[in-house]
Structure 1
């Protein structure tokens, strides 16, 4: 491994503009043995000729320079040959240049007597031949540079040149950690370059600190404009709107002479690499807020009555308080019979049929079941509307109350403070249906300091109780490998995946990764589509966390279920097939009426990925109009900022932006970073 890394370092030590060439041209007094010069007037004349040759060299009078260097090479051999080689190199005559550099390199005593010339010849020979042996010589020289202590300044300058070029080579392969390491090893600091690398490493806070210092010290107006633009970008990436607005004011003050937005424009784009393997791994092992919501919507019970509750468990088909299976329920009332049939269908089809059941005098539980079904297909806006209807029809059902409240929070719905206070009081009060579940969900999603004192009664045997307990233990960083939820319901596809990724007590990292990779199905199958989209999204995140996403075949011949098509559109987008995603999403809308904030953002991402920004902008406008989505405000600000409508842009910088699909970047960022 070390040998491999060392080889990469050597190969990346190619310099396009060698620093020493500039030293030779600007400093004609090359190191030589003064004692020999003092003994002869002829040698003094040779020294004068050498300096004349260097002057011709600097003026580009190469013919005269070569004639004099030929003469001086009899006394000042290595410096004269070096400058002759450089002249031929500048004239693109690499064969002739190589001949002169080889004369210096082949005489190993030059390393001691003429280190300037020897080191320089090594560089040029490597540049011409790309032969690693010359770079290996240089590495050896630098490792023993203490023996050349009188040439420390030269060695330092050359090391800096190498490290800077090495940093650029690391940047070209997006190895930002090593690029930063190379820059940190230099004798002087390239602060702007470091700040830009820190941005690529998502260390925006440290980058902003460096950028602020540069803004205070930079005198070059053109560079300062770029620093301000990059500073604004860094602050926006942090959702630090206070700093961003301050920087935007500075840009606005310089608006007359500011054109960086033309040279390095801001653009929105689909960032399929927004998250790393580590990010995906963290997301499957400890849920973020979005997945916690999905988890609860997946395990929350369907309800069949507004009085004495009968709960359908969506995972196993069990009925709370009884041992009957789904089939035994088909003798119940008309709605229950229809619903039992519907829960076996594709989740998206289920929603469409449940909508048809709704009547003007429908019961609360009918709206609740429709709301929960909407939530399970990522249509949270319609879920919120129907949870609200269920709550208003039956406020005594605490489950309706809390699901209404947490879904409102999820979509950032504007519930008046008075209404929120009533909801809070209703959930916290004792008594009422599902009071225990409501209070546990309230603590998980609304107020973590709330103390649940209500007894769980006989809920302990339900899957919803175990699911809530699973989340509580996950939040407390407890071991989940033997949790009752995973033991009792392993046959459920989502729970199977949850259990699969739990690390065994005596399992090292290698064995753990190998086990999961071997166990994960590399041929996508219907088992992960039977319940909810949370299963397919969780499955895909496992694949990405363990580096096998690109190896999976997501095609299921003959499967036209809408939930599968959603998964296909989602996976195709990340597999660089945006046109296929667009077609699939259109089909979902036309055939199944399936369109919501989630699919519209997938469409936006697909349009951006297929280089159709105008259609992406239309989608963003529609999302804003239909859902009052706060992410669209931020994206609007980015577009206004690009057009230098700074005052208008600032008005939209209110809500933190954390969209998993649409990112923003500075075009030409990498090229400018390399040029520094």
Structure 2
């Protein structure tokens, strides 16, 4: 990831095209160093951004006018007492009356300056400028300086610059005059002139060593010269209390630019005003506290409802919070689709989450209860679910024994049951061929067989169930839902099809209310079933009714892989540590070489340990286990994903990747499946170009065009920097599976990145305010030249 450079954004900031991350800084140490981690947009770089500087300089101008006005007035009065005014010189015979300059007492000057400042702040600039010009004429010794101030407030920058130039030539307050001249140069977009006058101000700093605001001058000049630590020293140790809030604000800004975000926040919080809500919102977003950032940005939008930068900053925070519907509305509001000006206010750059390939980030984000979000829970059940053969009345025993035995390496007995069942009907011969492939973990080949068969037998409940199960194990939940539902409606006694339809439907965001009621009603009507059974317990899980799973744990039942994994899930949801450990031990004993059973047992054993110790145990213990790797090479996605994640935490991805590559070179039968595994590992090995090449080969040469393969190809394309290819692949993935929120989210980011805000908002709106959090994608902020 690119280093995050900037932290404070004013409403009128300018910025460059450098990139920065929209992600939190994890830890700030006592010695001032920070530990970066793997993202509201923070976009104002202290060293290059001109307009933020102007706010500080204008504040300085007002203060100096007040101080100079008072001091010069006092000098004038004292000098007048010692040296009475000299009569005007007569240059002609005709006598003329001398022009008397208006003289003011110090208190009157102070009052006039305050009045002018108040009028100016209230918007009555014309009257304010009249007073400033009147003050400016009272004594020639400061006339050029005050004329410069007046012209600066009029925004007549060329004349103001000329006045400050003359003031410097006349040795009038040369340091502050040079700083104000630099303001004029900024407004005139003359960088060379700005540098010249800042250097001049630096040279004249010693002249102000006795001035009350000397530390402020030092802080400002060093800040503009990019001497940030020197500026901080002056601003945080002022000699007097003048303009303390302004100095604190600038100190906060510098701290942020140096990536001391927490210290910057606490500094700004000490003086926060209504006008600081925007900056505070951005800072909180920078630290990853998006909820607090959202609160401040909402306040800022109330304070300044027309400020488009606030809206887009809020849109990006809403994006991070998963409120993509709100993000879409804000984007459409700012980037009106009928507007000809679609230049980005905050450009973004779509990236892969660092936790996909960075070990430190992965360890920081890793949750040891990794199996128990909805998707992983359902995937475990899909993984251990039995395949079915035709005519359940005659072959239910074969189904149970065949499906169970295959997991304990008794392939011979398993196949004998399946072969016996295949004699029941002609279709079951074909079904058994697909099941044989699936039980050997060649899920993609099994899926291809079932897809072909379903065209011949479109109304076969068992066939649709088996096809759906392969889709579910491949991660194609839309097709899984379609075929599980079809299977259940063809035979509503196929309760497992009905329950799995509910799970896959939930994963793709379908309304499953009616289907759920239908399945429950069908179960209740079956008097042959116990009141508490496998199917109703699976429905409790799907409904989130975890308390009712207590009764499932208390039931006496056969220890099948499916029932055992439901025991483990139920115990974890109910925080029943004893049953959690017992269930994982039983599953590992039943399936000693199964990768998933061993990952679960390992996690249960070590989940209380610190992440570094956990990683070491992966290297020392898990890596030595005698496992059956066919499930990893060819099988369901959950095995690939969870095993690779475990390897990554343990720092073993590159080592195992070499083994997979060697295995692929030897493979003769199912090359595409092992190529899928290698391509997936290349992503986690930070070798995106290699992954992209492999996925292209799978799609073009092996015709693997399932939604999951296409989607992962887009992930590799983004990692390799091929944004146009990624868009094309994601559009194809979306067509194949319109419910894939990951595809839609990535498309939204990519369209927003290229300035197609209408298309981006369409994708975000389709996801809505669902709290969606991508596993794969994030974004960095690009500081636009248009800001």
TM-score by length of 2: 0.64
Matches for 1:201-280 after TM superposition, within 5 Å: 206-218=292-304, 221=306, 224-231=307-314, 234-235=317-318, 261-264=342-345, 269=350, 271-273=352-354, 277=362, 280=365
Distance, in Å, in 2 between the alignment partners of 1:6 and 1:636 is 33
The answer for unaligned runs of 5 or more in structure 1 is: 73-78, 143-147
Shift in alpha-carbon separation, 1:493–1:619, aligned structure 2, 3 A: same
Residue 317 of structure 1 is matched in structure 2 by 406
Which among 51, 55, 60 is matched to residue 161 of structure 2? 60
Displacement after TM superposition at 1:297 (Å): 0.8
Shift in alpha-carbon separation, 1:655–1:622, aligned structure 2, 3 A: farther
Distance, in Å, in 1 between the alignment partners of 2:461 and 2:280 is 59
Find out whether 1:3 has 2:31 as its counterpart: yes
Shift in alpha-carbon separation, 1:482–1:643, aligned structure 2, 3 A: closer
Shift in alpha-carbon separation, 1:341–1:327, aligned structure 2, 3 A: farther
The answer for unaligned runs of 5 or more in structure 2 is: 1-28, 37-44, 85-137, 150-159, 183-192, 423-428, 665-670
Shift in alpha-carbon separation, 1:225–1:44, aligned structure 2, 3 A: farther
Residue 500 of structure 1 is matched in structure 2 by 602
Distance, in Å, in 2 between the alignment partners of 1:3 and 1:646 is 43
Which among 533, 536, 540 is matched to residue 637 of structure 2? 533
1:459 match: secondary structure: coil
Post-superposition Cα deviations, 1:538-558, rounded to whole Å, max 9, x if no partner, equal 2344456x4858866634333
Find out whether 1:163 has 2:252 as its counterpart: yes
Residue 470 of structure 1 is matched in structure 2 by 568
Distance, in Å, in 2 between the alignment partners of 1:630 and 1:593 is 21
Distance, in Å, in 1 between the alignment partners of 2:352 and 2:764 is 24
Shift in alpha-carbon separation, 1:301–1:100, aligned structure 2, 3 A: same
Displacement after TM superposition at 1:159 (Å): 1.8
Matches for 1:176-575 after TM superposition, within 5 Å: 180-188=265-273, 189-199=275-285, 206-218=292-304, 221=306, 224-231=307-314, 234-235=317-318, 261-264=342-345, 269=350, 271-273=352-354, 277=362, 280-282=365-367, 284-285=369-370, 287-303=372-388, 306-307=392-393, 308-310=396-398, 311=400, 317=406, 325-332=410-417, 334=419, 335=422, 338=433, 339-340=435-436, 343-353=439-449, 360=457, 365=462, 367-388=464-485, 390-391=487-488, 394-412=491-509, 417=514, 421-430=517-526, 436-446=533-543, 448=545, 451=548, 459-479=557-577, 482-486=581-585, 488-489=587-588, 491-502=593-604, 504=606, 507=609, 511-512=613-614, 514-516=616-618, 526=629, 528-529=632-633, 531-542=635-646, 546=649, 548=651, 554-555=657-658, 556-560=660-664, 561-573=671-683
Shift in alpha-carbon separation, 1:501–1:192, aligned structure 2, 3 A: same
Displacement after TM superposition at 1:328 (Å): 3.2
Shift in alpha-carbon separation, 1:559–1:208, aligned structure 2, 3 A: same
Deviates more, 1:643-652 or 1:655-664: 643-652
Displacement after TM superposition at 1:400 (Å): 3.3
1:296 match: secondary structure: helix
Residue pair 2:713, 2:729 contacting (<8 A) in 1 also:
yes
Matches for 1:566-585 after TM superposition, within 5 Å: 566-573=676-683, 577-585=687-695
Displacement after TM superposition at 1:468 (Å): 0.3
Shift in alpha-carbon separation, 1:178–1:98, aligned structure 2, 3 A: closer
Residue pair 1:346, 1:562 contacting (<8 A) in 2 also:
no
Displacement after TM superposition at 1:157 (Å): 1.5
Shift in alpha-carbon separation, 1:433–1:124, aligned structure 2, 3 A: same
Deviates more, 1:238-247 or 1:385-394: 238-247
Relative contact order (alpha carbons < 8 A, sep ≥ 6): 1 or 2 greater? Answer: 2
Residue pair 1:236, 1:244 contacting (<8 A) in 2 also:
yes
Post-superposition Cα deviations, 1:43-79, rounded to whole Å, max 9, x if no partner, equal 999x96652463477633466434432xx7xxxxxx6
Aligned residues: 631
Residue 76 of structure 1 is matched in structure 2 by none
Shift in alpha-carbon separation, 1:470–1:198, aligned structure 2, 3 A: same
TM-score by length of 1: 0.73
Task: Note the aligned Cα RMSD (angstroms).
Answer: 5.3
Displacement after TM superposition at 1:166 (Å): 2.4
Which among 152, 155, 161 is matched to residue 241 of structure 2? 152
Distance, in Å, in 2 between the alignment partners of 1:285 and 1:646 is 31
Residue 587 of structure 1 is matched in structure 2 by 697
Distance, in Å, in 2 between the alignment partners of 1:53 and 1:399 is 89
